[in-house]
């Protein structure tokens, strides 16, 4: 009340003066400092385990075979056909996996979101269950199931569904089956939580205005679920880009992705420069995709409004 | 399919929104029951709503108002019962074929559509030509005084504006029945008072049968042709606002609507007595095992001279005076310990002249205001 009476009081005044102003300012500064103090361990950690290694990665990628600065690691990627094929394969596998995840995950998430919440959390646990077992175990389990004399072929043949054993591993099919299985939860979780947050009133309102259940879904539910779909798909796609274990085991060397080329550059050719350059390109590509997507997401938020 | 649901759809291009809807439908609810586990959300509800009537469901939170509205709209499937719009039995008709307009408590405006997109949605569903949609959307927005707001996004609107858009969307396809679930509860008081008048005049203009839900008794009294007071999934009383206030059917209704003092009274022969004091009352007392005298605070007089003939008088001791701006409330203790409240208009000097705490006073109640009610809660 006192301050309002002083004529000097104005929002433009650079340094407010008056009762307790200096003390209050000090308090504000102290608070900011405390906040910084609290986050400093995390900042330090990020510096040590992220910024320094990535910087090192960049540095190494510009070192040629003779130990001098050189662009040969990047030139090789452009000139050699095999590298182009690897990048194409990587994108192909990632896109297909993402697409299959959407096809399987969207209906599943929708189903879960419509269940009463107790049943839904039970079902969600079964979706998450695979997270609790090791990636390697799950991947080898698929190998056992899908191989030539594996369970799936045995049953298929004994039930008379097909005659000859079908080749389901050590190729694209096996890679995709394994990848989709591993990636599905990453799609379902954000999608489920978005769907869960869509107020039932929206669907009721659509029905009340005359929309059949199918039209209400496409006109109202689906558009409102796209932020979750987008976030989940992006997550899956980006994880796929750098994925190693599953394509390595189930692809049987026929599906070569960037991550696998990195490994062979190191293990076979002991060429850290080449491996680093691949890593840098993968990183830059991922960042670019994230950047483009974030623009989309923001646009989407503006268009979607409110939520 | 829409023709079957009602002719008041896009087919008739010459219909203008502002003309009174002569085809409002009566609603007949009979023996509708809905239980959730042990809870009777609706307990054998029967209700006849006249064509073009503004009927309000009034009751405390959890009394079953929304459930009844949801049954009318088709979102809740009752255990049994019948529901007719006009002659048509609709209890098993899915919501999208019922052709009733509804506003939701949450407004439920689609956030991914503009204002015009929202309001035009029911018309697009009915395959109304584009040009006509634009025209009718503009008309509906005009009706709710939001002309020119069509391109706005929903999140750019204030609460009152959202409320209006919700109403525009619910009336644009000219339904013959309009349901509203606590449409004004999220608005501040000023806006609420204004919207009450607006919604009421909109109803006058469009004439559709309207079922309005609120827990605010003043709102119900202001707006309704008739009010159904609901409690525990049952209709306690269905009456005009005036009858409801003046002749409540039981203690629950009397308590829920307006303020009142209740005094236990008994029947002695032909007379109703309070503490051996025979009471003069204009309306006959109901036949009930327990009776109460209901005294509205604004109908009680503070007596100074000799009272009018036949006026019931009560000796009391004044307690505190509560100043409320436009009126004051004087609490007084009767000799049996009951507190009687008296409300008076504040004029220059009245508050200063009031008795102070501990003063012996006399309160008067005219026979017309001496209402004997059924003392049971329901
Ligand atoms: N979907 C539901 N599941 C369980 N109980 C419900 C459900 N809907 C309403 N109820 C119960 O039915 C009663 C009436 O609810 P409602 O119609 O929402 O009341 P109101 O709208 O008058 O506040 C309440 O006791 C509420 O808990
Ligand atoms: Mg309610």
Q: What is the ipTM of this complex?
A: 0.81
- Nearest C-alpha to atom 14 of ligand 1 is from which residue? B64
| Statement to judge: residues A20 and A109 lie in one domain | no
Residues of A in contact with B102 (CB under 8 A): 205, 208
A212 touches chain B (CB under 8 A): yes
**pLDDT tens-digit map of B94-117:** 999 999 999 998 999 999 999 999
CB atoms within 10 A of CB A147: 19
- The residue among B370, B368, B318, B367 whose CA lies nearest residue B344 is B318
Q: What local confidence, expressed as pLDDT, does residue A12 receive?
A: 53
Q: Give B 47-76 residues with CB within 8 A of chain A.
A: 73-75
Q: What are phi and psi of A306, to 5 degrees?
A: 70, -35
The string over A97-131, giving b where at least 16 C-beta atoms fall within 10 Å of a residue's C-beta and e elsewhere, is bbebbbeebbebbbebbeeeeeebeeebeebeebe
pLDDT of the residue at B192: 87
pLDDT of residue B20: 43
- Alpha-carbon torsion, ordered B6, B10, B16, B19, to 10 deg: 10
A19: three-class secondary structure by DSSP: coil
Q: Report residue B170: phi and psi, to 5°.
A: -80, -20
CB atoms within 10 A of CB B204: 11
Nearest C-alpha of chain A: how many angstroms from B295? 43
Q: Do A204 and B73 touch (CB under 8 A)?
A: yes
Torsions phi, psi for A272 (to 5 deg): -65, -35
pLDDT over threshold 90, residue A210: yes
Kindly list the residues from chain A whose CB atom is less than 8 angstroms away from the CB atom of residue B73: 204, 208
**Nearest-Cα residue of chain B relative to residue A220:** B110
The string of DSSP codes covering A114-171 is HS-HHHHHHHHHHHHGGGGS-HHHHHHHHHHHHSTTSHHHHHHHHTTS-SSPP--SSS
- What distance in Å separates residue B374's CA from the closest CA in chain A? 40
Contact indicator for B24, B209 with CB cutoff of 8 Å: yes
Angle at B148 between CA B143 and CA B150, to 5 degrees: 90
Of A199, A303, A304, the CB nearest to B108: A199
pLDDT confidence tier of residue A16, bands split at 50, 70 and 90? low
The answer to whether the Cβ–Cβ distance between B102 and A208 falls below 8 Å is yes
Dihedral sign from CA coordinates of A169, A170, A171, A175: positive
Q: Is residue A37 part of a domain?
A: yes
Residues A10, A117 within the same domain: no
Instruction: Please give the pLDDT value at position A300.
Output: 54
Same-domain check for residues A97 and A165: yes
Together in a domain, A45 and A131: no
User: Which is higher by pLDDT, B27 or A127?
Assistant: B27
Residue A229 maps to a domain: yes
**In the structure, what pLDDT confidence band is assigned to residue A5 with cuts at 50, 70 and 90?**
very low
Token pair for B14: 């010459």
Do residue A150 and residue A26 come from a single domain? no
Same domain (yes/no): A104, A140:
yes
Residue of A nearest to B155 (CA): A306
pLDDT for res B8: 40
CA distance A84 to A54: 24
Measured in Å, how far apart are chain A's first and last C-alpha atoms? 38
| Contact residues, chain B, for A216 at CB < 8 Å | 96
Buried b / exposed e over A173-210, threshold 16 CB at 10 Å, is bbbbbbbbbbbbbbbbbbbbebbeebeebbbbbbbbbb
- Range of A113-117, B44-48, B309-313 with top mean pLDDT: B44-48
A78 and A55 fall within a common domain: no
Instruction: Give the Å distance between the CA of B34 and the centre of ligand 1.
Output: 10
CB contact under 8 A, B108 and A213: no
pLDDT at residue B255 is higher than 80: yes
CATH assignment at residue A77: 1.10.3720.10
Which residues span the domain enclosing A42? Answer: 2-61
Mean pLDDT (chain A) is: 87
Shared domain for A20 and A122, answered yes or no, is: no
Domain boundary among A61, A84, A110: A61
**Closest-CA residue of chain A to B73:** A208
Lowest mean pLDDT of A9-13, A88-92, B315-319, name the range: A9-13
A34 and A136 housed in the same domain: no
Q: Pocket around ligand 1: residues whose beta carbon is below 6 Å from it? A: B 36, 39, 41, 59, 61-67
Residue identifier of the C-alpha nearest atom 6 of ligand 1: B36
pLDDT in tens, A167-184: 888 899 999 999 999 999
Q: How many domains would you assign to chain A?
A: 2
Work out the pLDDT band at A8, boundaries 50, 70, 90: very low
- Which DSSP state fits A63? B
Q: Do A216 and B96 count as a contact with CB atoms less than 8 A apart? A: yes
Q: What does each C-alpha distance from B263 to A46, B286, B333 come to in angstroms?
A: 74, 15, 12
pLDDT for A14: 59
Rounded to the nearest 5°, which phi and psi values hold at B343?
-110, 135
Nearest to A306 among B98, B155, B173 (CB): B155
Residue A192 in domain: yes
φ, ψ dihedrals at B51, nearest 5°: -60, 125
Residue A229 at interface with chain B, using a CB cutoff of 8 Å: no
Distance (Å, rounded) from C-alpha B331 to C-alpha B302? Answer: 11
Residues A168 and A22 in one domain: no
- Is A208 in contact with B126 (Cβ distance < 8 A)? no
B88 in contact with A, Cβ within 8 Å: no
Does A153 share its domain with A179? yes
Rounded distance, CA A33 to CA B168, Å?
52
**A67 assigned to some structural domain:** no
A207: tokens are 């029905």
Measured between beta carbons, the chain A residues lying within 8 angstroms of B172 are none
A224–B155 C-beta distance less than 8 A: no
pLDDT digits (tens, 9 = 90+) for B172-225: 999 999 999 998 888 888 888 888 998 998 899 889 999 999 999 999 999 999
Report if residue A193 sits inside a domain: yes
Centroid of chain to Cα B215:
7
Distance between A118 CA and the closest CA of chain B, angstroms: 17
Write the secondary structure of B181-245 as one string of H (helix), E (strand) and C (coil): ECCCCCCCHHHHHHHHHHHHHHHHHHCCEEEEEECCHHHHHHHCCEEEEEECCEEEEEECHHHHH
Evaluate the CA torsion angle A216, A220, A226, A227 in order and state its sign. Answer: negative
Strands B177-181 and B209-214: parallel
Residue nearest atom 5 in ligand 1 by C-alpha distance: B36
Is 70 exceeded by the pLDDT of residue B17? no
Cβ neighbours of residue A32 under 8 Å, at least 6 residues apart? none
- CB–CB of A151/A145 below 8 Å? yes
How many CB atoms sit inside 10 A of residue B87's CB?
8
Does A224 touch chain B if contact means CB atoms closer than 8 Å? yes
> Which chain B residues are Cβ-neighbours of A224 within 8 angstroms?
110-112
Nearest CA to ligand 1 atom 21: B66
Domains and CATH numbers, chain B: 2-246 (3.40.50.300), 259-374 (2.40.50.140)
Residues A169 and A258 placed together within one structural domain of the fold: yes
């Amino acid at each position: 009340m006192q301050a309002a009476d002083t004529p000097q009081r104005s929002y433009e005044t650079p340094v407010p003066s008056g009762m307790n102003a200096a003390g209050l300012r000090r308090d504000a500064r102290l608070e900011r400092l405390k906040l910084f103090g609290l986050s400093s361990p995390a900042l330090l950690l990020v510096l040590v385990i992220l910024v320094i290694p990535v910087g090192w990665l960049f540095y190494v990628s510009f070192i040629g075979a003779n130990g001098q600065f050189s662009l040969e690691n990047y030139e090789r990627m452009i000139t050699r056909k095999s590298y182009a094929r690897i990048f194409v394969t990587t994108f192909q596998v990632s896109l297909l996996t993402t697409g299959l995840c959407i096809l399987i995950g969207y209906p599943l998430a929708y189903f879960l979101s419509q269940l009463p919440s107790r049943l839904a959390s039970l079902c969600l646990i079964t979706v998450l269950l695979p997270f609790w077992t090791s990636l390697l175990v799950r991947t080898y389990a698929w190998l056992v199931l899908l191989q030539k004399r594996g369970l799936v072929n045995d049953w298929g043949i004994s039930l008379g569904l097909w005659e000859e054993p079908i080749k389901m591993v050590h190729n694209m099919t096996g890679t995709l089956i394994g990848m989709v299985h591993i990636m599905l939860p990453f799609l379902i979780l954000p999608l489920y939580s978005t769907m869960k947050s869509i107020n039932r009133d929206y669907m009721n309102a659509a029905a009340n205005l005359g929309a059949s259940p199918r039209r209400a879904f496409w006109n109202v539910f689906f558009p409102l679920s796209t932020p979750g779909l987008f976030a989940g798909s992006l997550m899956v796609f980006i994880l796929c880009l750098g994925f190693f274990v599953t394509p390595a085991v189930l692809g049987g060397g026929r599906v070569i992705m960037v991550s696998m080329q990195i490994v062979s550059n190191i293990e076979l050719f002991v060429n850290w420069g080449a491996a680093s350059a691949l890593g840098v390109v993968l990183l830059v590509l991922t960042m670019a995709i994230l950047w483009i997507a974030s623009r989309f997401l923001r646009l989407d938020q503006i268009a979607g409004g409110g939520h | 399919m829409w023709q079957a649901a009602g002719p008041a759809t896009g087919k008739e291009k010459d219909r203008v929104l502002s003309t009174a809807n002569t085809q409002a439908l009566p609603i007949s609810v009979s023996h509708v029951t809905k239980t959730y586990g042990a809870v009777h959300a609706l307990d054998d509800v029967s209700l006849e709503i006249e064509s073009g009537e503004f009927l309000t469901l009034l009751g405390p939170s959890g009394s079953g108002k929304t459930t009844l509205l949801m049954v009318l709209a088709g979102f809740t499937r009752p255990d049994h019962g019948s529901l007719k719009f006009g002659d048509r039995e609709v209890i098993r008709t899915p919501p999208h074929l019922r052709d009733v307009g509804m506003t939701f408590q949450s407004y439920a405006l689609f956030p991914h559509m503009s204002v015009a997109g929202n309001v035009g949605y029911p018309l697009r569903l009915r395959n109304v030509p584009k040009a006509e949609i634009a025209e009718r959307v503009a008309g509906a927005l005009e009706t709710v005084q939001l002309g020119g707001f069509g391109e706005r996004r929903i999140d750019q609107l204030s609460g009152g504006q959202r409320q209006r858009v919700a109403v525009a969307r619910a009336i644009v396809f000219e339904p013959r029945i309009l349901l509203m679930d606590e449409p004004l509860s999220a608005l501040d008081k000023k806006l609420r008072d204004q919207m009450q008048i607006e919604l009421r005049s909109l109803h006058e203009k469009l004439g559709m049968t309207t079922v309005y839900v609120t827990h605010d008794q003043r709102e119900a009294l202001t707006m309704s042709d008739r009010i159904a007071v609901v409690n525990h999934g049952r209709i306690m009383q269905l009456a005009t606002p005036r009858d409801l206030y003046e002749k409540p059917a039981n203690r629950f209704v009397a308590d829920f609507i307006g303020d009142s003092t209740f005094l236990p009274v008994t029947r002695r022969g032909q007379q109703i007595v309070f503490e051996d004091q025979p009471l003069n009352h204009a309306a006959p007392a109901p036949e009930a095992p327990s009776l109460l005298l209901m005294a509205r605070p604004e109908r009680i007089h503070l007596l100074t001279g000799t009272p009018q003939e036949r006026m019931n008088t009560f000796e009391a001791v004044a307690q505190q005076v509560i100043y409320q701006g436009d009126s004051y409330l004087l609490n007084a203790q009767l000799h049996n310990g009951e507190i009687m409240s008296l409300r008076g208009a504040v004029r220059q000097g009245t508050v200063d002249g009031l008795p102070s705490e501990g003063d012996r006073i006399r309160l008067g109640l005219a026979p017309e205001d001496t209402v004997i009610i059924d003392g049971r809660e329901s």
